[in-house]
Amino acid sequence: MHFTFGAELAPWTHVGSIKIKNFDSKWCRVLEILRPAELTIEYAWEGGELDKFVPYPGLKKLDVTVPELLRVKMCESFFDFVKTPDLEFSVFVGNPCEYKFHIMGAWRALRKRLPIAFHDIDLAQFNVRQSDRTNAIIRSVKAGEKPRYQDHIPNARQDREDEELSEAYFQRALMKRYGISVCSHCAFYMYIIKK
C-alpha cells in the first residue's frame, strides 16, 4: 500500500499515536502531516545507514529502537531529539551476540559506542540501563529528577568480573568440545597448531 501526500496538505490534528516498523526517509513526510502526540519508531535489523528522525512541535512521547547499533552507520547528531525539552523519550539500542562467552565483550563494545552515537550529549543526564546483558535503554528523566541508572560508565571491578565469567564460559566450551582446559590465549595457538 502506498500513500501520497501533496505539498498543500496541512498537518492533521488529534492523531494519538503511531508505531512505525522499518523506519526510513519515506516516513518523514507522513509524520510531517500526521504529527502524532506519541510515536514509536523501530529501525530495520539490516545494516546500512539509518535515516535521522527530527522531532516536530507537539511530539510528547517518543520510543526508538535500534536493534543493532554496532552494525549501522549514523550521522553524528543522530539522537539529537534528546535535546528537545519536555519530550519524554526512550531509546533501545542493541548489540546481539550468538555465544555466551561473547556476551561480556558485546556489552563493553556497546558501552563504548554509546557516547559516539549520542555525540555532544552528556549521557549522565539520562537513565542509561543495561538490558538483556548486551543491550541498553536510555530514558529521559522528568524535570528536577536525577538519573538513577548510569550503567554506561565503566566500572573496573565489574569489568574484571565480567572478563572472568567470559573466560569461564570459554573454558567450559573448550572442555565440552575438545576435552581440554587451557587459557583462552593458548587455545587460539593450539587451534592453529592442530590445523
Within its chain, how far is the Cα of 17 from the centroid?
22
pTM greater than 0.85 (yes/no): no
The pLDDT of residue 193: 45
Mean of the per-residue pLDDT values for the chain? 79
Mean pLDDT, range 14-31, rounded to an integer: 86
Residue 56, pLDDT above cutoff 50: yes
Cα 119 from Cα 109, distance rounded (Å)? 16
Model confidence over 174-188: pLDDT tens digits? Answer: 777 777 655 555 544
Domain residue ranges in the chain: 17-154, 155-195
> One-letter amino acid identity for 157?
R
Residue 194, pLDDT above cutoff 60: no
